[in-house]
């Protein structure tokens, strides 16, 4: 009898776990559907209802879009306008770089090059998988956002991200006082909050206005192409030239950052071939240190 009780108890627990996991996955897919029901049944208390309008649409994304990013490494001269535009838009400290231009070198005799590195907005995002409270999430338009009203600051996502795309507000944010009365916009992640994560948002607020991301528009060298995978079209942030995405990738031998990890990044890189400017000597040294760090 006791054994029976134990077994049935265990089964109920396991069943409950599976059911709630399925329920969550279903909820993720059917977010819009849930909203519909909630609109009709006002008495129904659903988490989504507790969220502000900015939060609700911020979590949903822009219907019909699949944002995609192409970064042409042959064009990057390390001007770093992207970095400063981004820091300005998101009120970041100088050491916080949603967009970070790195000096890279793969091995001893391969060349050094500059590589702007935003969040890769992975289609299989490790950060979203590990988040215990659904604070970081993947939208239907491909963008990975962070809700700093939900984030508990466990930093599991930082540990999980292989691209170092995530930053933490270790102390009071730069404009904490000035931004105190601002309504929280999850698409801009402002106001920033102490004890929570911040990350590249693909400038989701600008996308909603039909504009290109802050960093993309700020680039003076034509490094960035940005667009919609569904339409197969990308636009250059500097020249405003428009191209077929598939053609751009095909012609230039595009690649992704560490695709072997299975993260399915939404950012493509065009190889640093025929660079418009050589890498500075001191930057070469930095890149070389990095190679030696791995091969010593």
> 230: which 2 tokens?
């569904």
Nearer to another protein, 5 or 239 (CB): 5
| 100 touches another protein (CB under 8 A) | yes
Nearer to another protein, 233 or 291 (CB): 291
Q: Which of 52, 164, 242, 246 binds another protein (CB under 8 A)?
A: 164
| 38 touches another protein (CB under 8 A) | no
Query: What minimum distance in Å lies between the beta carbon of 126 and another protein?
Result: 7
Nearer to another protein, 23 or 240 (CB): 23
Give the integer Cα–Cα distance in Å for 270 and 236. 13
Q: Which of 89, 92, 101, 279 binds another protein (CB under 8 A)?
A: 101
Q: Which of 38, 51, 54, 158 binds another protein (CB under 8 A)?
A: 158
Nearer to another protein, 209 or 260 (CB): 260
Q: Which of 12, 41, 152, 277 binds another protein (CB under 8 A)?
A: 152
Reported as half-sphere exposure (CB side, CA atoms, 13 A), residue 11 has a value of: 6
| 44 touches another protein (CB under 8 A) | no
What is the size of the binding site for another protein (CB under 8 A)? 57
SS3 for the chain, per residue? CHHHHHHHHHHHHHHHHHHHHHHHHHHHHCHHHHHHHHHHCCCCCCHHHHCCHHHHHHHHCCCCCCEEEEEECCCCCCCCHHHHHHHHHCCCCCCCCCCEEEEECCCCCCCCEEEEECCCCCCCCHHHHHCCCCCEEECCCCCEEECCCCCCCCCHHHHHCCCCCEEECCCCCCCCCCCCCCCCECCCCECCCCCCEEECCCCHHHHHCCCCCHHHHHCCCCCEEEEECCCCEEEECCCCCEEEHHHHHHHHCCECCCHHHCCCCCEEEECCCCCCCCCCHHHHHHHHHHHHHHHC
| 175 touches another protein (CB under 8 A) | no
* Positions 103 through 142 that interact with another protein (CB under 8 A): 103-104, 117, 126, 129-134
Give the integer Cα–Cα distance in Å for 115 and 224. 11
Which of the stretches 30-38, 188-196, 209-217, 248-256 binds another protein when contact is defined by CB under 8 A? 188-196
Q: Which of 12, 14, 44, 159 binds another protein (CB under 8 A)?
A: 159
Chain centroid, CA 195 distance in Å: 19
| 194 touches another protein (CB under 8 A) | yes
| 92 touches another protein (CB under 8 A) | no
Nearer to another protein, 85 or 234 (CB): 85
Give me the residues that bind another protein (CB under 8 A), please: 2, 6, 17, 20-21, 24, 47, 83, 95-97, 100-104, 117, 126, 129-134, 150-156, 158-160, 162-164, 166-172, 194-196, 258, 261, 263, 286-287, 290, 293-296
């Amino acid at each position: 009898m006791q054994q029976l009780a134990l077994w049935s108890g265990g089964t109920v627990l396991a069943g409950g776990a599976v059911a709630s996991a399925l329920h969550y996955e279903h909820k993720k897919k059917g977010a819009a559907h849930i909203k519909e029901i909630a609109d009709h049944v006002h008495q129904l208390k659903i988490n989504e209802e507790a969220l502000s309008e900015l939060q609700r649409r911020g979590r949903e994304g822009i219907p019909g879009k699949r944002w995609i990013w192409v970064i042409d490494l042959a064009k990057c001269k390390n001007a770093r306008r992207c970095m400063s535009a981004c820091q300005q838009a998101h009120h970041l400290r100088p050491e916080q770089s949603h967009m970070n231009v790195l000096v890279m070198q793969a091995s001893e005799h391969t060349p050094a090059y500059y590589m702007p590195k935003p969040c890769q907005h992975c289609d299989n995002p490790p950060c979203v998988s590990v988040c215990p409270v659904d604070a970081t999430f993947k939208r239907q338009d491909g963008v990975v956002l962070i809700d700093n009203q939900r984030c508990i600051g466990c930093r599991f996502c930082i540990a999980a991200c292989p691209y170092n795309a995530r930053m933490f507000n270790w102390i009071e944010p730069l404009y904490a006082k000035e931004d105190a009365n601002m309504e929280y916009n999850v698409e801009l992640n402002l106001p920033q909050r102490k004890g929570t994560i911040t990350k590249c948002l693909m400038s989701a607020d600008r996308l909603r206005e039909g504009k290109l991301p802050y960093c993309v528009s700020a680039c003076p060298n034509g490094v960035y192409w940005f667009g919609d995978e569904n339409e197969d079209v990308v636009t250059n942030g500097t020249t405003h030239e428009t191209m077929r995405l598939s053609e751009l990738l095909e012609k230039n031998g595009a690649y992704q950052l560490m695709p072997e990890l299975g993260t399915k990044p939404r950012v493509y890189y065009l190889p640093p071939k025929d660079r418009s400017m050589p890498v500075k000597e001191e930057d070469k040294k930095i890149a070389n240190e990095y190679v030696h760090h791995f091969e010593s």
